[in-house]
Amino acid sequence: MFVRTAEAEDEKFLWAMLFEASYARSQGMVSPDDLREVPTLVRYVHGFGAPGDLGVVGGSDGVLLGAAWLRLHDRANAGYGFVDDATPELSIGVAPESRGTGLGTALMSELLEHARVTYPAVSLSVRLENPARRLYQRLGFTDVPATEHINRGGTTSVTMLLRFT
């Protein structure tokens, strides 16, 4: 297993991982390119590598299988897990065949080590039924009160926050 820093050149792969993370298939989308037509999702990947962006990609045997990345959003361009202008929102996606292998934990651990140097906290939005929610809790994320909302898929999501200070 390997993990490395994500670069602007990894943007196409980040779209693929956002496709995995966003339950796009359950909404009739067939490829990562379909996400480019969803305004509420474009903010998570388009132009990755901008100031404040931070990410890691990883996999096995030289093949990329997962990514975790952070982006800052302002209130006018708030993402699903928006907390405030100073807190980046985390996105993570792992290829289905690599879930449960420890790759997601490795990606999160590496990304959070870098994030704690720059940011006071990190937020994310997660569906209540998503098994990854347990990983986020193990890493120290807690639910932000009064943030439960109905997501694009019609189920309930919540914002979680990890404070470094």
Taking the domains of the chain in order of start, what are their residue ranges?
A: 2-117
User: Which is it for the CA torsion 94, 99, 105, 106, positive or negative?
Assistant: negative
Q: How high is the pLDDT of residue 64?
A: 93
138: which 2 tokens? 């193990």
Q: How high is the pLDDT of residue 30?
A: 61
Query: Look-up: residue for tokens 């990890």?
Result: 162
**Separation CA 6–CA 13 (nearest Å):** 10
Q: How high is the pLDDT of residue 28?
A: 61
Going residue by residue through the chain, which has 165 residues, state the pLDDT in tens, using 9 for 90 and above.
Answer: 899 999 999 999 998 998 888 766 566 656 677 777 777 788 888 999 999 999 999 999 999 999 999 999 888 888 788 899 999 999 999 988 888 888 999 999 999 999 999 999 999 999 888 888 999 999 999 999 888 877 767 778 899 999 997
Instruction: Assign 3 to helix, strand or coil.
Output: strand
Considering the entire predicted model, what is its pTM? 0.89
Q: Where are the beta strands (DSSP E) in the chain?
A: 2-5, 54-60, 63-71, 89-94, 121-127, 142-143, 149-150, 156-163
Q: How high is the pLDDT of residue 23?
A: 60
Q: How high is the pLDDT of residue 27?
A: 62
Q: How high is the pLDDT of residue 127?
A: 87
**Separation CA 161–CA 44 (nearest Å):** 17
Query: Look-up: residue for tokens 């890493």?
Result: 139
Q: How high is the pLDDT of residue 74?
A: 86
Domain 2-117 is in which class? Answer: alpha beta
10: which 2 tokens? 């990894």
Beta-bridge partners for 160: 124, 143
159: which 2 tokens? 């914002």
Return the DSSP state at 72: -
